[in-house]
Amino acid sequence: MDRYKVYILGATGLVGQRYVQLLARHPWFEIVGMAASEKSAGKRLAETGWVLEEPPPHEVAEMRLEKLEADKVPKVDFVFSALPSEVAAKVEPELAAKGYTVLSNSSNMRMEPDVPLVIPEVNPEDLSLVEKQKAGRGWRGAVVKKPNCTTTILNLPLKPILDEWGIERVHVVTMQALSGAGYAGVPSVAIMDNIIPYIKGEEEKVVAETRKILKADFDVYVTTTRAPVLDGHLEVVYVDTKRDFGLEAVADSLERFRGLPQELKLPTAPEKPIEVRRQIDRPQPRLDRWAGRGMAVVVGRLRKLSPRKLAMVVLGHNTVRGAAGNSVLTAELMIANRF
């Protein structure tokens, strides 16, 4: 089959590099160009400070980065955006108005009612908002958002629990990886031998986005912290359910959970979007973040604290499932379902 042409905005940041990594050898997509800041424009990708665990894919390592200009983006099937939110707020709507389909990691526009905020296994039906967005804004294209990385990792296991037992409230405390703040986001002298018990804006995002994605009105209480881990957000989650549950039934429900991406056998979809670990000391970021090629969420320490009160520890790779991988999977779903 002819591959779909894609363009990457913000290709030199951590999430941008994940987009490159996931798309360069993708069976459905072909990277035809990349844009970055003025500092990196004109350089070959391999010259721009690649920091991931594998070298830049040889297919695109010699590709030169272009200056970010909406008028210069070539005609492509999808634009993947890893731009800072303040830049994305101007560029992404401009591209959508010109007819581009933009799949974005940036936080701007996530809560606007006509903007899909999608975890493909959880709320694929929200992609239908694309047509409402085009009609209401007079755009030929569209902007589709992925949630905050912490929200994505949390909402995957909440979905089967909500469907089977209902939810009254959720308490979450996170220990989030450094890569979630970007390459220069947290100074080494601030995080070494330390945990920072506050991430600006993060708690509010998790609360609002969870309500939009799950279409539920239960209470969500969140404390987010930054921990000295490179990749992998760990979340300690307490769920008050509406109906009582058996612990083995919960574990079985999580392990059996599948969504539309699994039914359609999409290339980036993990076989099991949720993996349950029975060991008492799992999940751990270093051991479990690459489950399902980084696209699965790992759940462990399942405990029934009292009737209708569940405790669990959840882990997900924040720049793969929590960021670039979620958008790539969304693009696959849009193709397969003709959104």
Is residue 317 flagged as an active site residue? Answer: no
* Whether residue 233 lies in the annotated active site: yes
Residue with tokens 């018990």: 197
Rounded distance between C-alpha atoms, residue 326 and residue 319, angstroms: 9
CA distance 298 to 315: 5
Alpha-carbon gap, residue 295 to 289, rounded angstroms: 9
Pick the catalytic residue: 58, 149, 171, 317? 149
Catalytic choice (26, 58, 171, 233) = 233
Active site residues: 149, 233
